[in-house]
Amino acid sequence: MQIEGKVALITGANGGLGEAMATRLKKAGASLILSGRRKDALAPVCEKLGAKMIIADLAKPEDVKRLHEEAGQVDIAVLNAALPASGLFLEFDEEFVNRALDVNLRVPIVMAHHFGKQMVERGSGHIVFISSISGKVASLGTSMYSATKFGMRGFALALREELAEKGVGVSTVFPGFIRDAGMFAKTGVKLPGVVGTKSPEDVANAVYRCIAKNVGEADVAAFDQRVGALLAAISPTLVAGIQKNFGGHDVSKQMMSAQRDVR
């Protein structure tokens, strides 16, 4: 779709990846509505990009409803907000399990329902789900995160088929290890030499391409992770063994430790 002159909502925009996406869509001529939990982090981004700001905690149904009301009519919805949710499943309490399911899966579905109806009525629009390569490859310490991201992929694929003839596009972007900004970058974990990274700008460009070209899925990951995703679709147990033998478990344990208090 033509992005210039359209209104684009981006959730989770107070993080580095959200800012990169917002900057790219602003460059393409979109008017921005940016949402996030932390005003101190979101306000400077909104000021720099001339965006409307909505502070909302997506784990709270009342905040989701208010976000819908304050956003009004949008042409592009980039559903980016998520919790890391890394850690061993049996160590989580029920409250966190519910919060992770809400923020990472239920709310993007609810928002797609709300904004999707608007778009169908107008006969145009685009919804972008920001998933993760963990939505294709499961690994140690990602039980909750992978559950939500695998679920997001299935939902998006089916929704894309449902809305294809109604003028509304649906895409899913799968970032791998992203340097400089985002969940992984914040951990400070050092990857083995054979594992590559991509930049926040790579993610932003993928989002732009998905909207402009109506691309169904886009992997934004280094070669090793893209190959892993392909193999995991054929033999997930094989990929699990490769991860274990080539330092994947060590990386997972470091990330679990670094994200232990990110809730």
> Catalytic residue positions?
145
DSSP assignments along 40-95, one per residue: HHHHHHHHHHT-EEEE--TTSHHHHHHHHHHH-S-SEEEE-------S-GGGS-HH
CB 133 within 8 A of CB 221: yes
Structure tokens at 96: 């966190």
Burial of residue 47 (number of CB atoms within 10 Å: 0-12, 13-18, 19+): exposed
Query: How many angstroms separate the CA atoms of 147 and 118, rounded?
Result: 28
Query: How many angstroms separate the CA atoms of 143 and 89, rounded?
Result: 6
% helix, strand, coil for the chain, step of 5: 55, 15, 30
Question: Looking only at Cα atoms, what is the longest distance across the chain?
Answer: 52
